[in-house]
Structure 1
């Protein structure tokens, strides 16, 4: 389909995009419709539909049709853009003038000079006037003298209108389901899920569209048209097997709504399927989570810093920070295959993620997890292109509310922050530093579907990382708990919730070891002004400040030796805090051994997609109802 023609992927040699069974090389000059028309001529690409498209809230209507007329030697895709307030007679005249230019150009090209006699006029194939008109097939008459918007309204009301150009008739197809863009990832590994790295639909819904996966061997001639394709799966994602190694993949999308089906679009992988890295340590951990928890009073939680591509894809990361990791294993197309499979294998009910690129949330996590009955919320860290993501299984929970803040942006405006803010704002360097941080906190209120009395407030965060910032992190902890407490008490009051059936789960990368004040604040509920953390930066030292929070928290996974393991730093900095007076821990999935973490010096590595380790714990309500 013409309107779905887009670059699908890029590599150093060549790749392909397929529109209605026409295989087109994906090279820059093929993005030119003029070049495409010549290419289509050689491949007998035909089209008897005129595609009209008007996007919501736009006054322009785009028109595209492929005119093939042997008499006048025309094979060209014409594209027009007309204002919907314009009279259709003026639109037809503009289209006629452009087509007439093409007719004259084609019929005059390469003609040999002819002898002229006074007796006979010169014969020419040029028509006196190119005819462009709109025709109502029901009333069998031309449509004239009306705004373009009225013509579109008639088409919307199922009036069959033809566009007539020369001797050609085009059925007008208005806003049909269309594939706007379709890509496959650069890296496709056996043993992992594959899905489009980009899929944009217009006037279609993904949940109603159809998807198929094919595999085929590239012939020695390297001619993609000669590939024999074998159907191997259906659905948005596909689990690639070892039997697929060495094959190319083809993904087919048929865009649909409940009422209408559009033209299919296809894309072929630019490389062959490769063997996976072998057994990853997280697959051993999956042995402890082979099934979803069946007990209605239990639920499983995962927290995981998945390492944003924003921080992995830089010269500093590749050469310095993660210099021990092969470049291919740092590429997001490689890593996301691993962390998607890892997350799915934990069979969790709640997933809290940190360092989530907005594009990874939209194009990877949300579409794939949605196919597994998850819904999710994203909270950006200020203006940063990464943030927090909280997912929950819609079969187990119903989301009643989701919100979040960037702490630094709310210090002067959020009422619950004012007492603590007033104690530190006179230290200008300290105040400036904490205000400039993009640290965010998100909260999601969930109600258990099987036990509607049970409610969870799931908080998610990622604190500031700098080595001299224990005082900043402790203050961020104080502000976070003020925010969480305020939200908790408001929901408790408004929904009249019983605290025995209303619990907090607070997950995140706190960048604080168990020896730091943040851990003490959460587990002991108070930190005094004598704490060494307050003095971690002498110019920004915090004096005379104490912090308290009212909830009885414990760390579900205790204090493992490592949750973050790089060459330059190894420590426990990730936690699942839970209210131990409302919940109890049933089990914790064992963490990888240090030998596994050191197999490639450190992580990330070909078998670990992040520099952090996922924490996984199962909980049960202390009081059943």
Structure 2
């Protein structure tokens, strides 16, 4: 039997902070919660009577087959029990004969049928409950905030937003948010619940100022569905607002992206944001990124920087690699959806916990189709890749290495709303190993061929259609991936085929007919660590369909070396974001 948890909770304690339901005195309603097909329903109300000295919440979970009379009796019995306890506290231990409080439900002003079952009562539209001189409007399935949280790390100058937000019988976008800060500074690691708070802002996000440093933050969320309002939920931060890290390289870059584009123009971003599963380990702290303070490697810190950086580019298309599922669900998707984006997440194959996330701005693009493919599966099974498969299967070591890879291609087909132009866009993250140039070349060819075939489907249907492929290719410009994309062919004797002699690729040449360029060219660095610094990331586009109107300047090497390398206290990833403005060329 499916049982739902209670609708409302008086006080919830979590490891991070205090989550509290506001007293229902602000909501003179009683609430039913019920879903079709379930055998039980929940009911709650707040009862306050000064003369009886009663002030408390009442919660019930009952079966839908119970009669209205039985249910009224149960509510009445609980009220009587509460009053009896009050009398005993005064030293009056005598038995109370019969109910002293009458509970009655009415439908359309008439007393409810006591013999009807509660399921019939739940279908009533105009229902009230009466207890002594108190009358309640009874609401079925009122909007409810099930959970909400705030980050432990809050930085002045960086947006704060509700995470782990779950609502029921309402849409998140319709909820009303009010932000407060403690009237006085709070000592770190001290509880903030008893502090007085003052209202500072409204809306889904709040950017603390320098005046907020040292203060706790409180968020109130009121769920709304149409004309119905549910009880508000408050969450008080455990941590306090800290001073920000100062100037970040992306602050300068944002000066080039102050407005969204319009007409036949759009902005695209590709960014490997460094998955938490690769940053949160002793190996990453001691070997990969020993120059970065541990607190700045923590995802709770880095996601504050990522939120500000990504949102500040005002891109129409956002393609992210190394995205943890939790970061997508709890942070990126809620934040960006509130800004008008729709997002998709695809996890890599195998046991890897991260994947690719893509977002498109709903005012610029409309989604026509979305999917993702695992490259190894396509090579092994899809007839489209027969020539690649034949070459791979000639070498057992090569076959094993290819088929063990979990690399994926996320595919979005998007219609540009202004021009009606179709874009087949792919985002990928290719295999990283230094001796695997041959593997990356095969993977890149698979991505490009798959997108090319998808594009042909839309061209054959009479659409104007262009291809874009972006991501972290883990390949520098001198090698085969860049040559294949921009020059259109790879011969059988190309050196990359023998990057690992035991896995050499024999008798395979690659080609494609499209005119493709890299939107951001070949920057000196897109990845910058102490152990390695070079260009690994690209936005490839059809240069006879699109023209580049702006490349947002990348950070200088001086900025990247400010704290030895990246990630750092001012840069949340070991990669930098590629951002470019593209314009659709009129096609005959």
Q: TM-score, normalised by structure 2?
A: 0.88
Q: Does residue 60 of the first structure (1) align with residue 62 of the second (2)?
A: no
Partner Cα separation in structure 2 for residue 220 and residue 488 of structure 1: 58
Aligned pair 1:590/2:560, yes or no? no
Q: For the residues of structure 2 that align with 1:521 and 1:436, how far apart are their CA atoms?
A: 24
Residue 311 of structure 1 corresponds to which residue in structure 2? 278
1:271-420 alignment runs, 5 A limit: 271-294=239-262, 296-382=263-349, 384-420=352-388
Partner of 2:3: none
Within 5 Å, give how 1:94-105 maps onto structure 2.
none
- Answer yes or no: is the 8 Å Cα contact 2:486–2:516 preserved in 1: yes
2:271 aligned counterpart, secondary structure: strand
Distance in 2 (CA, whole Å) between partners of 1:621 and 1:141 is: 67
Q: Please state how far the C-alpha of 1:284 moved relative to its aligned partner.
A: 1.5
More displaced stretch, 387-396 vs 66-75: 66-75
Superposed counterparts of 1:106-255, under 5 Å: 124-128=94-98, 135-136=105-106, 138-154=108-124, 157-158=125-126, 160-162=127-129, 171-218=137-184, 224=192, 227-255=195-223
**Do the aligned partners of 1:162 and 1:169 also contact (CA within 8 Å) in 2?**
yes
Q: Name the counterpart of 2:62.
A: 82
- Report the alpha carbon displacement of residue 334 of structure 1 after superposing the two structures with TM: 1.5
Secondary structure class of the residue paired with 1:288: coil
- Quick check: 382-391 or 200-209, which moved more? 382-391
1:196 shift after superposition: 1.0
Once the two structures are overlaid, the 10-residue window that deviates more, 67-76 or 366-375, is 67-76
Unaligned runs of 5+ in 1: 23-44, 113-122
Aligned-partner Cα distance in 2 for 1:163–1:320 = 68
Q: CA deviation at 1:282?
A: 1.2
Match of 1:512 in 2: 475
Give CA deviations for 1:221-251 in whole Å, capped at 9, x if unaligned. Answer: 9785664533322210122222322222222
1:536 Cα deviation from its structure 2 partner: 3.1
Do the aligned partners of 1:306 and 1:354 also contact (CA within 8 Å) in 2? yes
Q: Output one character per residue of 1:548-571: Cα deviation in whole Å (capped at 9) or x when no partner.
A: 222211112222221111222222
2:536 corresponds to: 573
CA shift, 1:608, in A, is 0.4
Which residue of 532, 535, 552 corresponds with 2:498? Answer: 535
CA distance in structure 1 between the aligned counterparts of 2:450 and 2:147, rounded to whole angstroms: 41
The answer to whether the Cα contact below 8 Å between 2:473 and 2:536 also exists between their aligned partners in 1 is yes
Q: Is the 1:6–1:181 Cα contact (8 Å) retained in structure 2?
A: no
Displacement, 1:542? 2.3
> What is the aligned residue count?
580
Question: Would you say the 8 A contact 1:528–1:547 is kept in 2?
Answer: yes
Moved more, 102-111 or 434-443: 102-111
Q: 1:511 and 1:576 mapped to 2: Cα distance? A: 13
Q: Does 1:267 align with 2:235?
A: yes
Residue 31 of structure 1 is matched in structure 2 by: none
Aligned to 1:435: 403
**TM-score using structure 1 length:** 0.83
Distance 1:226 1:72, change over 3 A: closer
CA contact (8 A) 1:64 1:77 kept: yes
2:499 & 2:37 partners in 1: Cα distance? 54
Matches of 2:36 and 2:156 in 1, distance apart? Answer: 41
1:3 aligned partner: 8
